[in-house]
Amino acid sequence: MANADTEASGVDKIGLSVSLIWLSVMASTGLVWATVGGTALHVAFLLSQVVVISIVIWQACDPFAEAAQWIGMKFHIPGSVRGATLDAVASSMPELFTGIFFVVLAIFAAGDSAEDLKAAGSHGYGPTVATCAGSAIYNMILIPAICALVISYVRRSRPAIDIAKTVILRDGMWFLGCELLLIVFLFQNQMHWWMGVVLLVLYISYVRKLYADAGRFRRAIHAVDDHLGGKFAGLQTSQIEDALNAQEIRPSAALVEEVHARLSAKAQGEIDDIDEEGEEEPDAASALFGLFEVPLTSITAWLVIAFATVVAAASCYWLVEVTREASLVMNVPIFFVAVIVAAAASSVPDTFLSIGASRRGDDDGAVANAFGSNIFDICVCLAIPLLVGCYLNGWVPISLTQEDGSPMAGLVGIRILLLVLTVITLLIMWHHQRLTRGKAFILCGLYGIFVLYAIAGSLGYGVEQLIGNP
């Protein structure tokens, strides 16, 4: 625990130093631009704001996550369910607020005619899709790559990220399924309100599946405990299979692996009870780079969540305005600005959450967080802005086409890249279920391809032009 506190303190000090530097950069760049003018300085000022925004979002989501974890543990919510709900909200809250603000600001700025509102709905939902899809690609590719690179340098005894099959087969496949459904929806000319409902139902089904898995796991470890009389030293998988079969519990490979890991931890004294998940309940929420700590109680935990939500919402509003202004200044479709800039800025909490998990030795948690956040991004962060946009537009569907009937700029490319990059990444993770430094560099290269797509699209060389769409 002391090592974890030391590492957290080190990250906080580095974060505070970087924040002060970037605040100075933003202030000086803004002052020079206001004095001299020029497009290049204006863009530099906007990008420096994005860095500061991402830091503010990170600092808002950190205490939110600690307070949410405290609440989840008080209500005895299983760790996997807590990760897919409370932790996912903590890390994906920026994508949700950013999507809502893109839609709401576009519609409120439109005229009163039906045509103006219809166009505004499309203009607002386009960057929402870009932000969530870009964030999903960032989370899926870059976060595991960053974790693998960090671990390869700081954890000499085991310099790679080990991934359990359960994470890939359950979380990875659920993400792939949600993604395929999203791509089917994006191939339509319009997004209807009921599509948002379908995505939300899919997310609820995922959480129910996690609850069922958690209950089955608890039954399994107690079945093995009763069968062996609490003697777990030298535990063999065959003993676990016999115990599960005796209780008529299907001994799948993934379940046997999980049970073996938990009972081995009990035998080695790493945990005191077989129901213990190995996580310590936080007693305080750290704020502002650890300079302040708020003791967590049933009242202060909710106050921390409320305050952090307000700060995150304000930061996301700022991010949306900066993204819109950058699009105008650079004369680039807002889709391509949002898919990189807004997506990366809103994914900062996920990045630090996964790095922290990997440095604590929780490799599965580091990767599962990325997949869980992506499922939340697709099923919730796209569904709620869609429902909000349809409601404000009199339940009129949101168009995914431009005035000439062609798909909105960037949409064709994101459909293709989202699926292709996901499949390649899952195959890389499945290979030996391990992420090494070499694989991390390959993943970084894949993200580089995605960045090149955004740059090419912003210059007018998108996939639409390559395949000859009108």
Two structure tokens written together for 118 = 């219809």
Supply the pLDDT for residue 195. Answer: 95
- The arithmetic mean of pLDDT across residues 111-123, rounded, is 78
Supply the pLDDT for residue 67. Answer: 87
Per-residue pLDDT tens digits for 285-305? 888 777 888 898 889 999 999
CA 178 from centre of chain: 14
CA pair distance 344, 136, nearest whole angstrom:
10
Q: Closest Cα to residue 94, out of 324, 294, 351, 299?
A: 351
Supply the pLDDT for residue 246. Answer: 79
- Angle separating helix axes 363-376 and 114-137, nearest 10 degrees: 170
> For residue 18, what pLDDT band results from cuts at 50, 70 and 90?
low
pTM of the model: 0.85
Supply the pLDDT for residue 319. Answer: 93
Question: Which residue did the predictor score with more confidence, 159 or 26?
Answer: 159
Give me Rg for the CA atoms of the chain.
23
Q: Closest Cα to residue 206, out of 227, 228, 175?
A: 175
Question: Which residue did the predictor score with more confidence, 229 or 452?
Answer: 452
Supply the pLDDT for residue 317. Answer: 94
Mean pLDDT, all residues of the chain: 82
Q: Which residues contact 220 (CB under 8 A, 6 or more apart)?
A: 244, 249, 255, 258, 259
- Please state, in angstroms and as integers, the Cα–Cα distance from residue 305 to each residue in 88, 220, 400, following that order: 14, 35, 35
Residue with tokens 């700590």: 293
Q: Closest Cα to residue 195, out of 56, 378, 432?
A: 378
Per-residue pLDDT tens digits for 344-353? 888 877 787 7
In the chain, pLDDT over 90 holds for what percent of residues? 22
CA pair distance 32, 27, nearest whole angstrom:
9
Per-residue pLDDT tens digits for 26-61? 778 777 877 787 888 888 888 888 888 888 888 888
Q: Closest Cα to residue 407, out of 469, 462, 458?
A: 469
Burial of 254 (0-12, 13-18, 19+ CB in 10 A): middle
User: Does residue 249 contact residue 268 with C-beta atoms inside 8 Å?
Assistant: no
Q: Does pLDDT of 162 surpass 80? A: yes
By DSSP bridging, strand 284-287 and strand 434-435 are unpaired
Q: Which residues pair with 435 in a beta bridge?
A: 161
- The arithmetic mean of pLDDT across residues 169-197, rounded, is 90
Q: Does pLDDT of 115 surpass 90? A: no
CA pair distance 202, 77, nearest whole angstrom:
20
Q: Where are the alpha helices (DSSP H) in 109-192?
A: 114-137, 143-154, 165-166, 173-186
CA dihedral over 134, 135, 136, 140, signed as positive or negative: positive
Q: Where are the beta strands (DSSP E) in 292-438?
A: 292-295, 398-399, 434-435
